[in-house]
Amino acid sequence: MNIFVLNSGSSSIKYQLFRWPAERPVCSGLVERVGSAQATITHQVFDLQAPANPPAETKLTLPLADHEAGLHEVVRLLTAAPGGIIADPADIAIVGHRVVHGGETYAAATRITPAVKAEIKRLFALAPLHNPANYVGIEVAERVFAQARQVAVFDTAFHQTLPERAFRYALPTALYTEQRIRKYGFHGTSHQYVAAQAAAYLQKPDARLITIHLGNGCSMAAVRDGQSLDTSMGFSPLAGLVMGTRSGDIDPSVLLYLLGPLGYTAEQVNTLLNKESGMLGLTGSNDMRDIGAALAAGDARAALAYDLYAYRIRQYIGAYTAVLNGLDAIVFTAGVGENDALVRSRVCENMEFFGLNLDEDKNQQRLPGLRELNRPESRVKILVIPTAEELEIARQCADLLSR
């Protein structure tokens, strides 16, 4: 059986095709700059006979008007000979969709029905960068893979175990009971996956873990017994850490000041906080590779941005060690967490009190897979675990449909 996993972002589409039940990734790809005349598709096909071989890569630059055009191009790549890996779109049995916001309705993977789609749509305002793109991905996949079963796996689902003291805001009760204003938390599929990997590695199912997902969006979770107890994103994916283009935590009075005396519209504030802030606002770039290069060249804005980015993470490590009443390991994951040694180094600096003792030589090594970066005497393990959101989504889809 083939499971196709789709992660549609605002301007990108990530996808992966798995042979099941072998859990074999057959191909994966990334469509970038959807909506432009210079969109790119990077399509990789893995060598199933010799998985250690590098994948065969196809790179295309082409105009792609929208997500539908992008997906049609992906299907063409999947079916094109030679190297075509399915004969027909009907060879896909399940399409698993990453959906960022599932509100309080979904605590697990869910078969997509018209009612589920309506709920995803209702939540557009709460995840404006993500849910609209996820929705388009579903609509297109329903047309392109008409025979497949469509399943949604929500970023919010894993955090539905948060206790009420962690998910409620100190606002009048009716705003929760009637408007469902609360902390939801995101990146759940990633936190769940790396936490399970870490617990298995430590051989400690009840491990107390802080998982640190640093991609474009960034979030942390306090996990014990495989359950999320708290997380840094909130009502929307805007809260918590400093991110690529999002501010993270901010005093809400700043918004009032922008809206009042400074004359911003609500839409302008939304754009400012979601798309123009974070590392982009501090440095002019949201890509850590550029910011790292600027820092190496002596750029003061880049130095401050790194400082602020790591400082916020350290604050949350302190907070979540208290939530967990102890700590077995911290786990770095996603694009920045897996690749940026300087970020990891800054995060672990001056954290002896919390039991973190980083081995800088191990930190600088670029190796694949799960890695332990602490010195032997470190009370707390420092792990890098590559996230595998697509694999986790495929597993949850297969699990749901086998029941």
Residues of this chain that interact with ligand UVW (CB under 6 A) are 100, 130, 155, 186-187, 215-217, 237
Q: What is the number of other CB atoms lying within 10 angstroms of the CB of residue 151?
A: 26
- 155 catalytic per annotation: yes
- Using the rule CB under 6 A, is 217 a contact of ligand ADP? yes
- Binding region for ligand ADP (CB under 6 A) out of 59-67, 83-91, 140-148, 334-342: 334-342
Adjacent-strand bridge partners of 32 = 40
* Spatial CA neighbour of 338 closest among 226, 202, 190: 190
How many Å is the Cα radius of gyration of the chain? Answer: 21
Q: What is the DSSP string of 179-224?
A: T--S-----HHHHHHHHHHHHHHHT-TT-EEEEEEESSSEEEEEEE
Distance of closest approach, residue 389 Cβ to ligand ADP, in angstroms? 8
Distance of closest approach, residue 245 Cβ to ligand UVW, in angstroms? 9
Q: Is 286 one of the annotated binding-site residues?
A: no
* Contact of residue 336 among Mg ion, ligand ADP, ligand UVW, none (CB under 5-8 Å per partner type): ligand ADP
Distance of closest approach, residue 213 Cβ to ligand UVW, in angstroms? 7
**Which one among 2, 16, 161, 216 touches ligand ADP, defined by CB under 6 A?**
216
Which of the residues 91, 155, 225, 307 is marked catalytic? 155
* Contact of residue 100 among Mg ion, ligand UVW, ligand ADP, none (CB under 5-8 Å per partner type): ligand UVW
Sheet with 56-62, side-by-side order of all strands: 56-62, 39-45, 24-32, 13-19, 2-8, 92-99, 149-154, 110-111
- Using the rule CB under 6 A, is 72 a contact of ligand ADP? no
* Spatial CA neighbour of 315 closest among 347, 268, 275, 361: 347
- Of 289-328, which residues contact ligand ADP (CB under 6 A)? 289
- Using the rule CB under 5 A, is 337 a contact of Mg ion? no
Rounded to an integer, what distance in angstroms lies between the CA atom of residue 335 and that of residue 328?
A: 23
Distance of closest approach, residue 205 Cβ to ligand ADP, in angstroms? 27
Q: Is 335 one of the annotated binding-site residues?
A: yes
Residues 6+ apart with CB under 8 A from 290: 283
Q: Say which amino acid occupies 341.
A: A
Task: Give whichever of 89 and 217 is closer to ligand ADP, judged by the CB atom.
Answer: 217
- Of 228-247, which residues contact ligand ADP (CB under 6 A)? 244
Rounded to an integer, what distance in angstroms lies between the CA atom of residue 388 and that of residue 196?
A: 12
**Which one among 29, 215, 234, 248 touches Mg ion, defined by CB under 5 A?**
215
Residues 6+ apart with CB under 8 A from 158: 185, 188, 189, 191, 192, 221, 228
Please report, in range form, the residues annotated as the binding site for substrate: 98
Question: Rule CB under 5 A: which residues touch Mg ion?
Answer: 215
The annotation places the binding site at 7, 14, 98, 213-217, 287-289, 335-339, 389
Which residues are identified as catalytic? 155
Q: Which residues bind ligand ADP (CB under 6 A)?
A: 215-217, 244, 287-289, 334-336, 339-340
